[in-house]
Structures are given as C-alpha cells and as structure tokens.
Amino acid sequence: SSMLKSIRQAIPSYLAWLVPNFVVGKSLTSIRVKYRALAAEAIGVEDSELDNADAMKKILVDELVFFQSLLTGDHEQQKYLIPGTNQPTAADFSVYAQMERLVGEGTASDVVVFPAIQWFKEEAKKD
C-alpha cells in the first residue's frame, strides 16, 4: 500500500529490516478504518456497500453523468463547468484530473499516469 511505502521510506534503511510489514500494516489499521468511514460518509453509503463493485460503479457513473450535464454541449457557449467563466476553475481541474486518472490516455502531464480503472475505460468506449 502507499501508506506502507511512505512509512518504509521514512525509516532509515538500516533499520527497515527490523520492522516487518505486518507490524506496519497492523499499526495502520485504525487509519484505514477512519478513512473508509470518511469515504462512505462522503459518498452517502453504508460501510458494507464500499465492497459492492456494482454499487460503486453506479455511483461513479452517476457522478460523471452529473458533471457532463453541467456542460451545455455548445463548446463555444460554455467551455467550463461553471457557466459564464472564461477560464478553467478549480472544479474543472479537479474533474479533469479524475477523468484523466480514470480513463485517460496517460498524456496529461510530463509523467505518464495510466488509467486506474482499465475496464471502465473499455466500457466507456463501448457506450
């Protein structure tokens, strides 16, 4: 996990072998539980639903459809999520980053970041 990697990098390499991964993992349990609860609250689901891939996919697709609905379809009239703006806002950058990470081609920056959910990208192309 990225939390484990962060902790490993914080420990001097000559000491890292003294602390097994399971010890570090066990110490992170309360943090994982906390952020799982925060995620469930943020998206308005019960904890048990977080493990339901179909339910999570529906929430994700509904959110993407919502963002799409904010655009009028007329690129010249409304280029950005917030109507009347003539420059991108934080909302545009946030949604763009999410979309690039989900289904992008990995060309958004100087570092190639491939889609996190390859199956989602494949299904999006079908629809």
Q: Which tens digits make up the pLDDT trace of 9-51?
A: 777 776 666 666 666 667 778 888 999 999 999 999 999 999 9
pLDDT band of 109, cuts 50, 70, 90: low
Asked whether the predicted pLDDT for residue 76 surpasses 80, the reply is: no
pLDDT reported for residue 90: 92
**DSSP one-letter string for 50-94:** GG-HHHHHHHHHHHHHHHHHTS-S-TTT--SSSTT-SS--HHHHH
Neighbours of 95 (CB within 10 A): 19
Cα separation, 90 vs 97, in Å, equals 10
